[in-house]
Structure 1
Amino acid sequence: MQFLFKIYQRLTWLSLDVVLGAMAGMLFFERLLRVDLEWQEYALLGMAVWCIYTADHLMDARKLDSDHTENRHYFHLNYQKPLLALLGIVGAVGLVWAIQYFGFSQELFFGAGLGLVILGIMLAVRKLAEKQVRLKELSSAVFYVIGISWLPWYETPQIDYTWTAFGLTILYMGLAYLNLIMLSSLDTESDKEAGFVSIATIIPHENLYPRIRQLAIGLILVALIGLFLVNSFFRIFPSLLLIMVLLHYLSFFKSGQRPEQVRMRMEIAFLTPAVLLLL
């Protein structure tokens, strides 16, 4: 079991769990907005997400010294040269493939522009540091959901621009924000040691935990209300979000769990929309 955990740990350090979660999220919005996406679009999304997250971790790793520690940041520090090379290869292949698939279309320019905006915000957050640190997790959550949902939103006809779809998109953003502040709380000590700034290093533990609990309970209540208010076609979607929030809540507030175990359960929660493949 420990061997399997080590393998999974390395996969998470490579952000492959985030890639799969993003692809499952795009499936959620594909079915919600009743569009048909091709497998190439999922592959391109996965490559873009991997590039963004890997670039982010490599920028963080540059702040560290060379002492070996078992976590994601030191993994990227120790293997920064091969990861930089792989990042360049994946980025170049993804760009060429996107041009071949989409052509010089609005989809290509919007997707590329969105990627540049996300990278720009990542850099801006680092420059602003403690002054605007509370925006780090919020902006990341918003742009994460925009990134996985913009193509389904772009391809869906305007008749499907419903308040239900908008509401579920906002709820997904709330879930992504909950995930990020929970992860920030789990990484508080290691972030402080490495000199990183996050919402958990700024807000005291005794103040942050109640806020996390309140946000989680609020999202659970909104998902429950949505479950009863939407029509039968949409009911599966607040149900999935409710399950995902509950998995986060139970994982985070269950005592006796190591941070890596909690992280693993919360990241696996984002794979929940994959059940739509069976429906």
Structure 2
Amino acid sequence: MQFLFKIYQRITWLSIDVVLGAMAGMLFFAKALRVDLAWQEYVLLGMAVWCIYTADHLMDARKLASDHVEDRHHFHLIYQKPLVILLGLVGAAGLFWAIQFFGFSHELYFGAGLGLLILGIMLAVRKLASKQVRLKELSSAIFYVIGISWLPWYETAQIDYTWIAFALTILYMGLAYLNLIMLSSLDIESDNAAGFSSIATIIPQERLNPRIRQLATGLIAAAFLGLLFVNSLYKILPALFLIMLLIHYLSFFKSDLRPEQVRMRMEIAFLIPALLLLF
């Protein structure tokens, strides 16, 4: 069991779980907007997400001491050189493949521009440091959902611009934000030790946890209402969204779970939309 956990740990440290969750999220929006995406578009998204997250972790790792506790950032510090090389290779291959697939089109320009904007915001957040730290999780959640949903929004017909699709997009941003502040709360000790700023390092736990509970409860209520009122064609979407929220809520507020167990369950929750492959 310990061996399997080590394998899982390396997968998460390499952000493979985030990549798979992003691809599942794109499928969620493709179904919501009734658009069929090519498999290449999912792989290109995964490559872009991996590059952005790996670049983020590498920038964080530069702040660490070599004797820092073993975690994701320590992993990126130890293997910094091979990861930088791999990042360059994946980024170059992804750009070349995107040009081959999309051509010099609006999709290519918007996707590349969005990636550069996200990287720019990541750098800006680091410069602002603790002054605007509350924006870190919020901006990350917003741009994460924009990143996984813009292509389905772009390729769908205007007739499918429904209030349901808009509502699901906003709710998904809420879920991504909930996930990030929950993870911030779980990582507060390691963040403090490494000198990283997050919402949990500036808001005391006794104030932050009730806010997390309120946000989670509000999102669960919204998902439940969506399940009741959307037509049968879309019911599967709020149902899956509700399951993702319940996994987050029950995992985070279950006191007998270790932080790594909570993290694992919340990461698995973002794979739930992959069930749409069966429909």
Aligned to 1:259: 259
CA contact (8 A) 2:23 2:45 kept: yes
What whole-Å deviation, never above 9, does each CA across 1:226-261 have from its counterpart, x for those lacking one? 111111111111111100000000111111211111
Match of 2:32 in 1: 32
Structure-1 residue corresponding to 2:197: 197
Decide which moves more: 245-254 or 63-72: 63-72
State the partner residue of 1:165.
165
Matches within 5 A, 1:90-129: 90-129=90-129
Find the residue that maps to 2:21 and give its secondary structure. helix
- What amino acid maps onto 1:133 in structure 2? V
2:250 aligns with 250
Structure 1: which amino acid aligns with 2:89? I
Separation in structure 2 between the aligned mates of residue 268 and residue 253 of structure 1, nearest angstrom: 17
- Quote how far apart the aligned CAs of 1:69 are: 2.2
Structure 2 residue 208 is matched with structure 1 residue 208: yes
Aligned twin of 2:142: 142
Question: How many Å apart are 1:220 and its aligned residue?
Answer: 0.3
Q: What is residue 19 of structure 1 aligned with on the other side?
A: 19
Percent of residue pairs identical: 81
Shift, 1:14, TM fit:
0.1
User: TM-score with structure 1 length normalisation?
Assistant: 0.99
- Deviations along 1:80-113, one digit per CA (max 9) or x if unpaired, are 0000000000000000000010000000000000
Structure 1 moving runs of 4+ over 3 Å:
none
Cα distance, 1:131 vs structure 2: 1.0
For 2:223, the equivalent position in structure 1 comes to 223
Q: Distance in 2 between the 1:134 and 1:5 partners?
A: 32
Amino acid at match of 1:96: F
CA distance in 2, matches of 1:84, 1:261: 29
TM-score for the superposition, normalised by structure 2: 0.99
For structure 2, which runs of at least 5 residues remain unmatched after alignment?
A: none
Q: Secondary structure of 2:36's match? A: coil
CA distance in structure 2 between the aligned counterparts of 1:269 and 1:70, rounded to whole angstroms: 25
1:68 Cα deviation (Å)?
Answer: 4.7
Q: Distance in 1 between matches of 2:53 and 2:61?
A: 12
2:68 touches 2:194 (CA, 8 Å); kept in 1?
A: no
Superposed CA offset, 1:139-174 (max 9, x none)? 000000000000000000000001111001100110
Displacement of 1:10: 0.5
Structure 1 residues not aligned, in runs of 5+? none
Q: How many residues were matched structurally?
A: 279
